[in-house]
Amino acid sequence: MDNIPLSVLFGSLFCLIILSAFFSSSETAMISLNRYRLRHMAMEGKRSAIISEKLLSRPDRLIGLILLGNNLVNIIAASVATLIGIRLFGDLGVALAPFVLVIIFLIFAEVLPKTFAALNPESIAFPACYILAPLMKIAYPAVWLVNWISNGLLSLVGVRLDEQEDTPLSREELRTIVREAGALIPQRHRRMLLNILELENVTVDDIMVPRNEIAAIDLDDPIKEIMEQINHCQHTRLPVYQSSIDNIIGVVHLRRMPRIMNDKKEVTKEAIQEIIIDSYFVPKGTPLHTQLMNFQRNKHRFGIVVDEYGVIQGLVTLEDILEEIVGEFTTDMQTFNLDIQPQEDGSYLIDCSVHLREINRQLKWHLPTEGPKTLNGLLLERLEHIPESGITLKIDNYLAEITQVSENSIKMARLRRLEEVVEEILA
């Protein structure tokens, strides 16, 4: 050993530091790889991703290989450092070598490579897999022995590797991934994906047109009034009832009207009844993702929402559900502008029949939606009686002033963020 030049010893120590840094960075990089991105790249045929995924399929063997190599390198490095210490400082070098080696290895073989690997896992893991895969074959007997002992000890405390499975992503985790996708997914697409995930938490009750706002044909009305209603209707389908909205006998598709108008000089109620199709009823409380599949399965675009007693609560359309995903795509914006009118002081004059979800979506607010579905229902729930005009109440972080009331409901209210009111007072 005394015949070995110092330059060779220092060169060997340098190489050992590089090897230790390789094993340390490889361990961190392989564990830090995004498994879903790795699987996608492997499916696309990228060789390094395929090898990395195969190595990670048995993490116990991969970690065993890396630690085996890293500890072997560290032990040899300690021996070389001791030789250098003895050659330079004699017996004092035996005491100094461990302290100097710990500092050097901690910085250059642990902290620096692992930090870089954690920040750039693919840059380290993909090249490293071409070295780790052959090493796994060469050192397999030693790795198997180490794993056999360690896995046996783990089994004593109830941990079995053959029972470990990849945990699937929950909806909340998937929602977080979509939110943090950044520029990888356009903002509009991210919003649509998030809306799809929300469909399970939203029911037809949240988006249906309430029964008092249903546009429908009453066959007891004179035919002149019926035709006038049809000519000025903005919808393509209209429920048809007799005497009461609870007695719906079917639905008329207005595209069929020109046919009976061409065949007969004068349209009659009997002619309208001939083109009525059966109603499609939807149970109250049906989740939107379920109803979307039901519409698709039954080839319907329009449903009447009923409660457990068969009483009509409202109606829901396929368009309503699609708007929950892609947002408003109707060209008739005048109706919406009349429902939510911005005021000069920063408040909003809102028709109380508007759904709370619609208000939250359009104004980026957070009005509570767990109970009542409309602003009228929320205000009545908080007040517990039909109020008079001019009453103001606080709902979470919002102030609501009742501006118009009927005998049995609140028609209009002025809403504003509480912090804006406070800012005005302090100013």
Enclosing H/E stretch for 286 = none
- Identify the pLDDT of residue 154: 76
Please check whether residue 303 is in contact with residue 295, taking contact to mean a CB–CB distance below 8 angstroms.
yes
Helix (H, G, I), strand (E, B) or coil at 310: coil
The answer to whether residues 51 and 57 touch, using CB atoms and an 8 Å cutoff, is no
How many CB atoms are closer than 10 A to CB 19? 18
Q: Please state which of the four CATH numbers 3.20.80.10, 3.20.20.70, 3.30.465.10, 2.60.40.10 is assigned to the domain occupying 333-426.
A: 3.30.465.10
Q: What pLDDT is attached to residue 175?
A: 82
**Helix, coil or strand: residue 46:** coil
Question: What integer pLDDT is reported at residue 165 of this predicted model?
Answer: 56
User: Quick one: fold of 206-318?
Assistant: CBS-domain (3.10.580)
Q: Locate the domains of the chain by residue range.
A: 6-161, 167-201, 206-318, 333-426
- Give the separation between CA 239 and CA 251, rounded to whole angstroms: 4
Task: From first to last of the 427 residues of the chain, give the pLDDT tens digit.
Answer: 556 777 888 888 899 999 999 999 999 999 999 888 898 899 999 999 999 999 998 888 899 999 999 999 999 998 888 888 888 877 777 788 888 888 888 999 899 999 999 999 999 999 999 999 999 999 989 888 888 888 788 777 776 665 555 567 777 888 888 888 777 788 888 888 888 888 888 899 888 888 888 889 999 888 888 888 888 888 888 899 988 888 899 998 887 777 666 555 577 788 888 888 898 999 999 999 999 999 999 888 889 999 988 899 999 999 889 888 887 765 444 444 468 889 888 889 999 988 888 888 888 898 988 888 889 999 999 988 888 888 999 998 899 999 999 888 899 999 998 888 777 777 6
Q: Which residues contact 228 (CB under 8 A, 6 or more apart)?
A: none
CA distance 37 to 126: 13
Query: In this structure, what token pair is assigned to residue 360?
Result: 């939250």
Estimate the share of the chain in helix, then strand, then coil, as percent rounded to the nearest 5: 60, 15, 25
Q: How far apart are CA 41 and CA 125, in angstroms?
A: 13
Distance of CA 247 to the CA centre of its chain: 41
> Could you give the CA distance from residue 356 to residue 362 in angstroms, rounded to a whole number?
10
The pair phi, psi for residue 125, each rounded to 5°, is -65, -45
Using CA atoms, how far residue 240 sits from 248, 273, 287, in Å, is 6, 9, 26
User: Kind of pairing, strands 302-306 and 281-283?
Assistant: parallel
pLDDT confidence of residue 7: 81
Number of other residues whose CB lies within 10 A of the CB of residue 391: 15
In sequence order, the β-bridge partners of residue 282 are 305
Q: What per-residue confidence (pLDDT) applies to 21?
A: 93
